[in-house]
Amino acid sequence: MPRHRAARAATRRRVWPWAVGIPAVVVLATAGAFAWDGVHLLSSKDELTAQAAAAQDAITARDAAALSSAVSQLQEAAQTFASATDGPHWWIAAHLPWVGAQARPLMEAGRAVDQVAEGALAPLASMGSLDALEAPGFTDGRIDPDVLEPYRAPLAQAAETLGTQVDALASVSLDGTVTQVREPFLQLRGQLTTIEGTIQGAHVAAEVLPGMLGGKGARHYVVMVQNNAEPRTTGGIPGAFIELTVDDGRVTMGRYSSASAMADQDGVGGLTDDEVRIFTRRMEVYPQDANFTPEFPSTAELITRFWANTYGETPDAVLSVDPVALGWMLEGAPATTVGPFDITGENLAAVMLKDSYLQFPEPADQDAFFARASAELFGRIVSGEGTAIGGVERAIDAGRFMVWSDDEGEQALLGTTAIAGEFLERADAMGIFINDGSGSKIGYYIDTATTVTDRVCTDGTLVGETVEITFTHGFDGNVADLPWYVSGGGVYVPEGEFQANVLLYPAAGTGVTEFTQDGTVAMLSPETHGGRTLATARIVLEPGQSTTLTYQLGTTESGLVPPSVVETPGPKASAYTRGGDVVVDGC
């Protein structure tokens, strides 16, 4: 062999072991580092999940001492977890096939929890009291506009930190992630999302209450009381309106009006092209139809036009509430006598949505009663009676209490919370809404049961959904005994018959692939509303009948997670069920 070839061969013999050995050492060292981290991950994972749940429970219970204890232990677990998901070997792992799908969620979870513990929960625990997370109550008929000022800075910091970390976790792809990593990751993300919603609401309250409670000058509001006996997307027809003035936290009530008194045949304007095409001009002619749309800010702006057109003054804000929510707010208060009824928190909804119709056969009399009762009962609430604090929170969660402000800054903040009633902007939410077409109050007797079942891949991403909605007409008496405007009187539909449009808005990235009614393929009316797809079905029910609508939805995008669901709040407790996930193999 020539000398130069022999030299090269010798060099290769010397280099080859190093070429093989260096990666082997790296692999062994990386494996050793992962094994060491694995020990710490296993020891901190369960503690991390448990203390995150404990922090969530403490915030829900407004227990500052429990939160302080949970935060202390969460910080320790978070630091252990974060340090065990950091280092060069994790960076390498994050860029490897398959391994990266496991490493990236763990790394993001470690960073997020560490940030949340230090930047959000610790400041909250340092406040010493979690009263700021509750709706402020009345004292001698007044709410101090600056009641949340001492908590404003820590709430702002906590809300910003939580929002950033929740968004970071939401952007993590779980495509290819194994169940052992995916499930605790999703559990943690759900816990932080729940906490973020609570803290964001308190942060917004601390920012907007000084102005909205008249701390910077008197504010003029209109309260819209929805009547769920005649369903509309956000609950029921706006049946009564109450004028409020709030000055330095003290509330005074002005005039009250029925919806019929504010109708305008020429229309008050302000509708979008989509609204005119889908819901017709009735929205701008009749206040009762202003909430054909599920987008409460649009309804509220229409109400300000109706009010200004009738009374010459434009409200600064619109509040919406329904009799079910009013009942929650008056729980524990003494009975209020209105006409022939002694109304308590427990019977309020039944009196206003059913019993009063039987007492007052004439529509004008019942409209007057509804408006008067709404004003008197709301007056009791703003005077500090009942359990307004807990009732308001419960009503917000159920979509029965909403607020819109004409101030752009205030509305932008409100829009980050559920109280704004914004739906079209919530691309990750499915909407199921009802618009009555009977022209009657027979809707009180309609029971609705909804079940949503998600079909998911093994990594938890959505591949489809089944939505099943059953409507049951529960009136079991003689229709002829009902007042004509409860039964409908045969004006628009046969007496006692319930007709309605059922509106399904799929979440973004999903769409209806099949629709059946009572097991038979049926037709849907497709539309587009504010950039969202909409499928409308028509239902017709006579007393004693029921019907079931079944929608099959598929996905048009990958990586989606199961959406939240927004429904029309009915006259009674809803029967919404989230079905168990159905795992689809091979996707």
Query: pLDDT (tens digit, 9 = 90+) per residue, 399-437?
Result: 999 999 999 999 999 999 999 999 999 999 999 999 999
- The span from the CA of 384 to the CA of 262, in Å, is 30
Least confident piece of the model among 82-86, 192-196, 459-463 = 82-86
Structure tokens at 162: 């939580």
- Taking only the tens place, the pLDDT of each residue in 272-296 is 999 999 999 999 999 999 999 999 9
Residue 346, pLDDT above cutoff 60 = yes
Question: β-pairing, 575-578 with 446-456?
Answer: parallel
Q: Evaluate if residue 32 carries a pLDDT over 90.
A: no
Residue with tokens 């406040």: 127
Cα distance between residue 407 and residue 412, in whole Å: 9
Residues contacting 525, CB < 8 A, separation 6+ = 535, 536, 537
Average pLDDT in the 328-341 region?
91
Q: Which residues of 381-393 are buried (b: 16+ CB within 10 A; e: fewer)?
A: bbeebbbbebbbb
Which pLDDT score is estimated for 185? Answer: 87
Q: What is the pLDDT of residue 93?
A: 80
Identify whether the C-beta of residue 62 lies closer than 8 Å to the C-beta of residue 131: yes
| Residue 525 pLDDT > 70 | yes
Q: How far apart are alpha carbons 524 and 451 in whole angstroms?
A: 19
What lies within 8 Å, CB to CB, of 23 at 6+ separation is none
Domains plus CATH for the chain? Answer: 38-211 (no CATH), 219-408 (3.40.630), 427-583 (2.60.40)
Quick one: pLDDT at residue 415? 97
* Amino acid (1-letter code) at residue 434: I
Per-residue pLDDT tens over the stretch 437-457 = 999 999 999 999 999 999 998
Lowest-pLDDT range of 206-210, 357-361, 542-546: 357-361
Residue % of the chain over a pLDDT of 70: 91
Whether the predicted pLDDT of 187 surpasses 90: no
Structure-model confidence comparison of residues 413 and 42, the more confident one: 413
The pLDDT of residue 388: 62
Tell me the H-state helices in 424-560: 484-487
pLDDT band of 583, cuts 50, 70, 90: confident
Kindly report the average pLDDT of the chain as a whole number. 88
pLDDT band at 37 (very low <50, low <70, confident <90, very high): low
